[in-house]
Structure 1
Amino acid sequence: MERPRPAVICLSGGMDSTSLLVRMLAERRKVFGLCFDYGQKHRIELKRLYDNIEYLRENDIEMSCETIEIPKLGDLFHSALTDSNWQVPKGHYEQENMRQTVVPNRNAIFASIAYGYALSIAIQHDTHVDFCLGVHSGDHAIYPDCRPEFYQSIFHAFSIGNWDNEKVHLHIPYINGDKYTILQEAAVSIEKLGLDFDTIFRNTCTSYQPDASGRSHGLTGSDVERILAFHKFDRRDPIDYVDSWEVVVEKALELEAQYRAESEENDD
């Protein structure tokens, strides 16, 4: 049986890319990870990522991961995620104020670096490589650089700008899914690998503005989306919140209901 193609994955330390990571490992792929220190305020996500990598190694699962350090972007780019004086907005993920969390051209920069890495591996080892991203449908409303047409276009540009482009394949398996379906699939992959679900997801960070202890307050859009996914999955999120799980779920449901009501009012 032919071994699956190696995978180059952009890893953030969040639940989406972590779920993609365990999926690729469950498929017995050789994984080459890239993570980015771009001056984000929630840099604890990188620590969580490496905690998970260490957990994988303790369970005899090997992978490589390189950190690309470009923290100057945090000073150059206008975003609530990188400006220490700019409070990350609270509310539902699809509300207009969540545009403040866009980092201009971030995914194009990350994708360009990852594509070059994938192509280099492909040429060096004379093999085909999958260039993998954990973007999903929940990202589409606020982040134009997470939409299918963006990745189709930018991947086309990468292909026409490089020799041996036939060796690299775009792989975005969650593009039409959401955080709930991602959790469902991740649970299957984690079980297949013989790992602990809570440990894997405890070693992630989705919040854009965790407190000094790394706890999520549960009120930013990324928090709410994650909480609602775990609630729908009927499982307690293992990360630490500033409030109890019951309280953060209640607040997330309230924010979702408020957003839906406002959307219906605007439609009328």
Structure 2
Amino acid sequence: MSEKVVVIYSGGMDSFTVLNKAVQQGYEVYALSFNYGQRHVKELKVAEDVCRNLGVNHKIVDISAINQLIGGSSLTDNIDVPEGHYEEESMKSTVVPNRNMILLSLAVGYAVSLKANKVYYGAHSGDHAIYPDCRPEFVKKMDDVCRIANYEEIEIVCPYLNESKIEILADGLKMGLDYGQTWTCYNGREKACGKCGACQERLEAFEINQAQDPLPYEV
């Protein structure tokens, strides 16, 4: 019987690559997506379609009530989404307070209930400067805690923690993945905006990998 793992799957290109890596490694994958009150749920619809096509177990959990407690992010509140590269100071407005600690805690609980022993998520080196809950030291501490928080030891796994989105895409292309099955843009319109930090980083990754992004863009 295959080993069970939980993958936190947003529908974006990083978690899409992590999901497929876990599947191709032969794990019995349980994908877990969250509606935490983000501006749009287009990513979640994309995630649902991908999991159905892969035959992967998938849950979408509504935790949007947490927005009564954690606000101030342009991804959840009525604040304009900044445009430009992630390195720009304005991108800090996209931080959702304590998001990954909350999501990881829920995913670990799910893993325990499934008798899985690993939780995967898609933090990478490009996130370190902006998102505190994607830094290696955060992942290490969360891994330490999640190994002792239950009778069952759960490992936190970030396959791309020390790699960039450019390297993630390169690996995914080698795996033969179709990134037309992902959604990255912070705006949930018909086409990706091409201007927000998420789009900028994605487009840069495709350009450096000398590949064509299959998503349609407004610009």
TM-score band w.r.t. shorter chain: over 0.9
2 CA distance for matches of 1:25 and 1:66? 16
The SS at the match of 1:9 is strand
Deviation at 1:51, TM superposition (A): 1.8
Give the letter for the 1:39 counterpart.
G
Q: What SS does the aligned partner of 1:25 have?
A: helix
2:126 paired residue number:
138
Name segments (4+ residues, structure 1) moved above 3 Å: none
Local SS of the residue matching 1:48? helix
Q: Identify the residue that residue 15 of structure 1 maps to in structure 2.
A: 13
* Residue number in structure 2 paired with 1:44: 42
Deviation per CA, 1:202-260: give whole Å up to 9, x if none: 1211111232x2x11111111110000011111111111112xxxxxxxxxxxxxxxxx
> Are 1:230 and 2:218 counterparts?
no
Q: What is residue 89 of structure 2 aligned with on the other side?
A: 96
Which residue matches 1:205? 183
More displaced stretch, 73-82 vs 43-52? 73-82
Asked if 1 retains the 8 angstrom alpha-carbon contact of 2:142 and 2:156, the reply is: no
AA at the equivalent of 2:135? R
- For 1:27, give the aligned amino acid: Q
Q: Report the alpha carbon displacement of residue 115 of structure 1 after superposing the two structures with TM.
A: 0.9
| Aligned equivalent of 2:143, options 152, 155, 159 | 155
User: In the comparison of the two structures, how many residue pairs are matched?
Assistant: 218
- Contact 1:209–1:216 (8 Å) recurs in 2: yes
Q: Which amino acid aligns with 1:130?
A: K
Give unpaired runs (5+ residues) of structure 1: 57-61, 123-127, 191-196, 244-268
TM-score between both structures, scaled by the size of structure 1: 0.77
**In 2: Cα distance, 1:237 partner to 1:52 partner:** 18
- Distance apart, 1:135 and its partner CA: 0.7
Equivalents in 1 of 2:114, 2:124: separation in Å? 26
- Compute the TM-score of the two structures, normalised by the length of structure 2: 0.94
Please report how far the alpha carbon of residue 23 of structure 1 lies from its aligned counterpart in structure 2 after TM superposition: 0.8
**Which secondary structure does the structure 2 equivalent of 1:16 belong to?**
helix
User: 5+ residue gaps in structure 2?
Assistant: none
- Give the structure 1 partner of residue 155 of structure 2: 169
RMSD between superposed Cα atoms in Å: 1.5
